[in-house]
């Protein structure tokens, strides 16, 4: 999930570096809390993580699942 909350850090929180590409206006981070959300509840796409941010998030996912 993407959040602006920094009050209660979560393991592997990853700051989004390129806010403009992601369509965000405030400092935000990717927080690795998983949940299900029916895709029909998604109203719109505001942006996409930059290639560099995608690479960092993928690296964190590998850490989370103990992959190399």
Count how many domains the chain has: 1
How confident is the prediction along the chain (68 residues), in pLDDT tens digits per residue?
899 988 888 889 999 999 999 999 999 999 988 888 898 998 898 899 999 999 999 999 999 888 76
Other C-beta atoms closer than 10 Å to the C-beta of 16 total 19
Structural domain range at position 7: 2-64
Do 18 and 52 form a contact (C-beta atoms < 8 A)?
A: yes
Global confidence as pTM? 0.75
**Rounded to an integer, what distance in angstroms lies between the CA atom of residue 54 and that of residue 65?**
17
Q: Which of 36, 18, 38 is nearest to 27 (CA)?
A: 18
pLDDT at 68: 65
Q: According to the model, what pLDDT value does residue 35 have?
A: 82
């Amino acid at each position: 999930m993407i959040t602006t909350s920094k009050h209660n850090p979560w393991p592997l929180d990853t700051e989004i570096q390129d806010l403009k590409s992601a369509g965000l206006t405030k400092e935000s981070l990717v927080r690795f809390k998983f949940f299900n959300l029916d895709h029909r509840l998604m109203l719109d796409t505001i942006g996409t993580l930059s290639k560099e941010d995608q690479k960092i998030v993928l690296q964190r996912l590998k850490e989370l699942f103990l992959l190399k």
